[in-house]
Each structure stands twice: as structure tokens, then as C-alpha cells.
Amino acid sequence: MLMDYAKKLFLVSILSIALYGNSRAATSDKQAAGPNRNWAPHPRLYYTPKRVKALKGQMATDPTLKKAWEDLIRRADSLTDENLVSKEYAESGKGQHGNYGRPSSQIATMGATLGLAYQMTGKKEYAEKLRQALLHFGQLNRWAGNAKRDPPWNSELNTARFCFGYAVGYDSIYDYLSQADRETIVRAMVQRGILPTLNDWVLPEKRIHTLDSMGHNWWSVCVAMAGVASLSVLGEEPRAQQWVEHVTDGFPEWFAYQGNILQNKSPNFDDAGAFYESVNYANYALSEYLLFHLAYSNVFSPDSLPKIPLLDKVGDFFVHTSYPASDSLLSVNFGDSSIKASGSRTLRLLLATGFDRTSYHWYITRTDPGLSDPITLVNYQLQQRTAAPADLPQSVIYPDIGWAMMRSAWDDNATMLAVKSGFAWNHAHPDAASFILFHKGKPLIIDSGNCSYSRREYTAYYRRSKAHNVILLEGQAENPEACGGPDRGVVHPGSVEHLMDAAGIKYVLADATGPTSWKFSRNYRHFLWIDDVILIFDDIRTHDLGQLEWLLHFEGQAKEDGGEIRLSNGSQAAAIVRPLFPKNMAVARKKGLKDHDPDTQVEYLAFTPSEKRRDMKFITAILPLDKPADKPDIKLELLEGDEMLGVRIERGDTVTDIFLNLRADGRRMHRNSNKTIHGWDTDAYLFGLTRPANSPDDPDSITRCFIACGSYLRKNDKIMIDSLSKVYSIFQTKGRTMNVTLQTQPIANCRIRARTKPKTTILNSRKSAVNWDSLTSTVKFSPTN
């Protein structure tokens, strides 16, 4: 008997060596450069002896962790009595996901929860239930729905969940399993999960997908979980090391994906870390990758992972798209997301993998500390912070994906304006130049949101321009083919440009011309937030004569009151929307659909000019109110003149005039857009000037200045600003400090007025040399200062 056993062992060893040698022969050079093959023993993915010991120590002194652990044990006890989803049910579904959602979720929950319960207590009932589940779901014929695609797909998001549940479950109860159990479970994991996924998404012999398949988040989710499963079978499956290396090699490419011109695909990430699909899908794609990152770091070392610079930035996207209300932390919900979407899972995993920011602790404290998640519990390192860090910027732009956020403060219930003008396809909706407004803890001006993807209304309404705060021509803006019907995406995406925030003025330009170019030849929207007034200037030109509509989607109530709309949501949040130009627009109440509830109709507003036009300028003021019944102590006056429009804002003892130079709207191309407006000589497209109410309208009375797309501004033989190249700028002098925000070409010289020589000059938040010209009373600035 011993001789027979020895012979069998020898043959198995020889076969394993042969299989491993064949699978690795073509990659010997790559292997030599890969991670050390002396991987950690089981349990090695998440519930390592070091982490389990640390959690036990933390629980002894931290009541919060102790309670979370007690809650987890209650859930684990409940899971031991839970019936496993039947094979008959799981395999009876049809379509992309079939009926695999319930069983994949069940094994993922059991793997993580029962696995930690067993490692912490050693109680065999947890391991036995998990063993039964692993053997049971391994009998399924496949772990993926069948959408009958050409070529066939063998994996999907449920496959990823199966891989995760099996990986963490197998790793956690490895010592409890018999050798026969181990072989059966590993075989199922490889044949049902790892190979179907990696053959679809990564391995060169059979791969059918690329980095931008399925809206870009699928690659990360599917590949990361196949990677975690591969890590769990190192030492039991000879090919696992090679699979892990394919996964680690692929992720830097996925993070760096720059889009596809011929097939209208967007880059995955903005250079500053934002994910183009939405906040919701950013959390999904990133958290799944970070589960692989964390497991790999425990099995090998984080130092052997390829460096991905974006990981230093991706968490900031969730922070900057958040809105702190007194009772919650809401979220910008462009695309397929929700105002309740959270990036806390990603931020918790970033902390666990060494990417630490004070703002991440604040965000997690305000959303979900994740103590119901076993992997968070065993990696818990949250520092409770209820106040946002003081150094967070109030305005942020993500130009590569076309998002911008501006806020009055990081305090609870402040005012936040978010703008989107970027790509449209799949989870990114056709919403170029749309915007939303949060105020007093509530959403006031909203995005229509989305619904179940299987509902007809998802494409017929939610993924149409009419569901967003944009301008329509005869009911249309972006081509319906971008996100509906053939789902072809956008050839020319929109953009957000020239974000500035200084001296009480915030500005950003949204260019929606590209994605609406089948109907519009100009579609520019300027957001100019001055103190407590948000002005929106729309510059429109269409190919054909038609009826324009300026859309406004709102939450709560919208009451018409003498030519303006009073919005309110709840007892505190309110704002006035006042159309200033064109005058006497009709207001139509139209029927839309409620966010995440397509069976419920809601109203939205459409402002329509009295006549059909090809060229049109819209000027709209939004005034957030302290209380719904308030009457604002701000006087707004429309200014009209020859080839100009403007707005005068009077409040207290100050006056701010904003002028729109109509000669700068493209009607003059071979000549500069020179115009004298209220005595100011300029070629600027848009400019604004603040002065004391009782002072003359003269450069030496101006206390702050804004200019967009202008090279000069002067009056009474006094230079206000001068530059050969056109600039975007906000500047102000207080005392003897001159503060300038300046955007222009890389090589430029710009001269800006100061009545007296300043002691300190600050250019774009950095001190600069004081280059004073006493003859012109100007200071010279350049981007290289």
C-alpha cells in the first residue's frame, strides 16, 4: 500500500511539474522579473493572522469595533441556517445575467462573513456551512448568464462575485477542508470562474474583450476578481502565478486607457482621477480593483505591484463630488448614479492599501464606516472626523471628462453648483452643459437620474437630452444615437473650461457645441457665480430656424411669481430662477419621470422665446435664498444696448456690472471683436466690474474685475488689463496685496491695473515678482512668474 501511494505521489508530482513547465515556458523571462514566488500561506488574502490578531486587540479597547463584531457574528449565525440557492433556480434564467445574481451574492456574502467568523473563533460550524456552499455552487454548469452573443461570452459581473466568494471562502477555511474538498473547490473556481473570465478578458489565446468593452467598468470588476481567485489558488494550481501576472500587467493599461477615436470611446479617467461613467460606477470599478490590490499586497508585497500614479488621486473624486447636508452626505449624480451614491467602499480600501488622506476619513465618517463589511472590519483604521478639512478647494474641474463643481463653502447645507459637459455613451448621459444645484441641504435643480436598465423608459426618457437641464431645438439637443437606439456614443464630446474661483467670483465655461453639432453651430454656456447670484449666459446658434427651449428640472415645488420661478424643497431650501433675456418667455410645465421611479410622473419647466430664432442669447439668474419666504435684497437689472447685453447687480453699497459683447460671438472673424460698452473699450467676450455704488464708473474705482476671452479693457485712457493673447482672469487688490487668477497661453505677458504699487502680488495662488510700471499704473504678469 505504501509503495502504491508513493508511486501515485511520484506520478502526480511529475505531471504537475510538466503542466507547470509547459504553462510557464513561454514566460520564463517575465517570471524572473515578477513577484517573489514565496507567497504567504493560507489564510493570505484578507484575514491574515496579523490582521486577525490586530482586530482582536482593537476590539478589546474599542466599543464600536466590539459591537460591529457582535453584529457580524449574529449575521454569521443566521447564514449557517440559510438555505442555499438551488441549482434549478440558478440555471433557469435567461439573458446577460440569468438568475446568477442571487447565488453569486450569497456565496460572496458567505465567503467573507463566515470566513472571518471562522478565523476569529475557530468554530467549525462556520467553516462547515461555507464548505457546503463552496461544494454546492461548484456543481453549477456555469457562473454566467447567456445572452447568446457572437462570439459567446463566458463571464460577466456575477462570475466576478462568484470568484470573490470562492477566493475568500476557500482561503479562509483552507485548513478545515480535506484534500479532496480542496481539489474539488479549486477545480470549480478555475473552470467556472478564473478561466472563463481571463479567457474572455485577458489571456491572448482566447481573449474577446478589450479595455473599453461594456462601458469600461466591467474590465476592472471581472479581471480583478479573477485575479483575487488566482491569488487564492497559488500553490494548488500551477498556472495561477502566470494568471496573476497577466492581471497585474493589465491594470496599469486600464487606468491609462485614453479612449478610441474611431469607436467613440472616452478615456477611463481624467488626469486628476475622476472616472467618466459616474460616481456610482467609479466606486464599483475602483473598489473591485482595490480588493485585488489589497489581497496581492498581503500575498506578496505592495512594492512588487506596478505603480499606478492615479491611485494617489482617484479618492479625491468622491470627496469633490460630495455635498454635505446636516443629515447626510449627498452626491453629484450625473449619469447612471444617485444623489445617495457613495465612494466610501473605495476610500476604505484606499486607506487599507496605504493611500491616506484626511479628507477620506472625513468622507467615510459622514457616509459609511463600513463596519458591516468583514474586510473593512479586519482592516479598520478610520479616524473619526466630522468637519471637512480646511484645505479642500471650493471649486474643482475635471476637464478630461467634463465635470466641474463649485460651492460656497464646505459647511453643511451650503450651496453647490455642479456642471457637466463631456462624453455621452452607456452610463454617461447626453447632458452636455447640464447643471444641478444643491442648497440648504437639499437638491433644488436636479438631474432626472435613471431607472432599471431593463425598462423602456431608461433609453426613451432618462438617456435623452430632455431629461437634463439643457437647451433644446425642436425637442432635441444631442443626437439620440449617442445613448439610445444604436448607442453609438459622441464623436465630438463637450467640455468644461477655464474654471476660476477668486475674490467672490466663480466661473466656468461649458461647451456643448460638439455633441449637439447636428443641430447647433454654437452652444456655449457660461456660469458666472458672483457673491450670492448665479448668472447663466447661453450663446446659441442653430443650423435651422426652430423653437428653442431652456429646460429646468427641479425637486419639490416651482411656483410662478411675476415673471420668475420660486423653487422650494422642504421647509428651508429655496431659490429664485429669474429669466432676464429674452424677455417675456412662456413657461411650459412638462411631464418627466421621477429619479429611479419610472412609474411616477414629475413636472419640469421649459422656457420658450416668443419667436423661432437661429441666434439667441439667454441670460438667467439664480438666487439661492436663506429662507423660502425671503425676498432677496439684491436688485438685478437687464442692460441692453448696441451689440451688447448685460446685467447690473446692486446690493448694499456695491454695484457689479457684467457685460456680454455680442461682437465676440463669432459674427466677426477677420476683425477683432472691438466694442465700446458703457465707455469701456474692449474686445472681451464677457467682463464684469465691481465698484462702490456712489463712485464713478472709472478704472480707479473698480474693486475687482472679471474678464473672459479678452485681450484688453480700458477706459478714460487708463489700462485695466492688457495682453496680446486673450485671457481669462479675475483680479482684485486689497490693501497692498494684489491677487490675480490668470489663464492664457503658455507664453504671454499681461498687464493689470493697480492704482498704487502693491507690496505683494499673488498669481494663481503663488507669490510672484512685483513688476510695477509707474507710467501706466500696471503690474506685469506672465504664466512663468
* CB 181, CB 130: distance < 8 Å: no
Grid coordinates given for 15: 505531471
Residue range 37-82, pLDDT digits in tens? 689 999 999 999 999 999 999 999 999 999 999 999 999 999 999 9
β-pairing, 760-763 with 737-743? parallel
Measured from the Cβ of residue 6, the count of other Cβ atoms closer than 10 Å reads 10
Residue range 702-730, pLDDT digits in tens? 999 999 999 999 999 999 999 999 999 99
The conformation of residue 419, written as its DSSP 8-state character, comes to E
- Distance (Å, rounded) from C-alpha 759 to C-alpha 604? 52
Q: Compute the half-sphere exposure of residue 73: CA atoms within 13 Å on the CB side of its CA.
A: 12
| Residue whose C-alpha cell reads 463600513 in the numeric block | 370
> H or E stretch including 324?
strand 322-325
The better pLDDT of the pair 488, 550 is held by: 550
Q: Compute the half-sphere exposure of residue 410: CA atoms within 13 Å on the CB side of its CA.
A: 19
Phi and psi at 595, nearest 5°, equal: -60, 125
- Distance (Å, rounded) from C-alpha 469 to C-alpha 437? 11
* CB 752, CB 729: distance < 8 Å: yes
Going by pLDDT thresholds of 50, 70 and 90, the confidence category of residue 384 is: very high
Question: What is the per-residue pLDDT for 751?
Answer: 98
Above 70 in pLDDT, residue 242? yes
Grid coordinates given for 33: 522579473
Cα torsion through 717, 720, 725, 730, rounded to 10: -170
Grid coordinates given for 36: 517573489
Residue range 308-349, pLDDT digits in tens? 999 999 999 999 999 999 999 999 999 999 999 999 999 999
Residue range 110-144, pLDDT digits in tens? 999 999 999 999 999 999 999 999 999 999 999 99
Beta strands in 512-632 (DSSP E): 520-530, 533-546, 548-553, 557-561, 564-569, 573-581, 586-594, 597-608, 613-625
Measured from the Cβ of residue 16, the count of other Cβ atoms closer than 10 Å reads 13
Measured from the Cβ of residue 560, the count of other Cβ atoms closer than 10 Å reads 11
* Residues 293-298, mean pLDDT to the nearest whole number: 98
- Distance (Å, rounded) from C-alpha 668 to C-alpha 67? 70
> H or E stretch including 707?
strand 704-715
Question: What is the per-residue pLDDT for 485?
Answer: 62
Widest CA span in the chain = 109
Question: What is the per-residue pLDDT for 37?
Answer: 65
Residue range 253-276, pLDDT digits in tens? 999 999 999 999 999 999 999 999
**Identity (one letter) of the amino acid at 106?**
Q
Number of helices (H), then strands (E), in the chain: 18, 33
Question: What is the per-residue pLDDT for 49?
Answer: 97
Above 70 in pLDDT, residue 233? yes
Above 60 in pLDDT, residue 6? no
* Residues 277-300, mean pLDDT to the nearest whole number: 97
- Distance (Å, rounded) from C-alpha 522 to C-alpha 781? 32
* Residues 7-14, mean pLDDT to the nearest whole number: 37
Question: What is the per-residue pLDDT for 213?
Answer: 87
- Distance (Å, rounded) from C-alpha 714 to C-alpha 710? 11
Measured from the Cβ of residue 584, the count of other Cβ atoms closer than 10 Å reads 8
* CB 402, CB 271: distance < 8 Å: no
| Residue whose C-alpha cell reads 447612471 in the numeric block | 336
Question: What is the per-residue pLDDT for 25?
Answer: 36
* Sign of the C-alpha dihedral computed for residues 316, 322, 323 and 327 taken in this order: negative
The better pLDDT of the pair 10, 399 is held by: 399
* Residues 210-228, mean pLDDT to the nearest whole number: 93
Q: Give the helix ranges, DSSP H, for 530-650.
A: none
**Identity (one letter) of the amino acid at 720?**
M
Above 60 in pLDDT, residue 1? no
Indicate the angle between helix axes 157-172 and 217-232, nearest 10 degrees: 20
* CB 154, CB 145: distance < 8 Å: no
Question: What is the per-residue pLDDT for 417?
Answer: 98
pTM: 0.94
* Residues 730-747, mean pLDDT to the nearest whole number: 96
Grid coordinates given for 471: 437647451
Strand, coil or helix: 736: coil
Residue range 472-513, pLDDT digits in tens? 999 999 999 887 666 888 999 999 999 999 999 999 999 999
Going by pLDDT thresholds of 50, 70 and 90, the confidence category of residue 35 is: low
Question: What is the per-residue pLDDT for 784?
Answer: 66
Round to the nearest angstrom and report the end-to-end CA distance of the chain. Answer: 85
